[in-house]
């Protein structure tokens, strides 16, 4: 996680006024520390359960691809069923 740019995620959330309902201040985007804690929680869930392929919450997605795990922050996504 050392190379993940939580500051950039925080800036995007602040610009979009993206708030989490479970944040300490529900009228403000989460702090960088809260972003890091949520990312750790998701990664921990994925590591703890080998049956899980992906987990996500609050814009974060952690995805297992073989032995690799990827952490993403997603602003927009579309699936093939929407084309």
Domain-by-domain residue ranges, the chain?
6-82
- Residue 70's CB is within 10 A of a number of other CB atoms, namely 10
Quick one: tokens of 62? 């952690």
Average pLDDT over residues 22-50: 89
Query: Rounded mean pLDDT of 76-82?
Result: 82
Residues 42, 49: contact at Cβ < 8 Å? no
Q: pLDDT tier at 24 (50, 70, 90 boundaries)?
A: low
Total-model pTM: 0.86
Q: What are the percentages of helix, strand and coil residues in the chain, rounded to 5?
A: 35, 20, 45
């Amino acid at each position: 996680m050392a190379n993940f740019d939580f500051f950039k995620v925080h800036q995007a959330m602040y610009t979009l006024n993206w708030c989490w309902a479970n944040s300490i201040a529900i009228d403000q985007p989460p702090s960088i520390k809260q972003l890091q804690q949520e990312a750790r929680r998701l990664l921990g869930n994925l590591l703890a359960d080998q049956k899980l392929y992906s987990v996500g919450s609050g814009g974060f997605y952690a995805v297992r691809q073989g032995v690799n795990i990827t952490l993403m922050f997603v602003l927009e996504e579309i699936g093939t069923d929407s084309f």
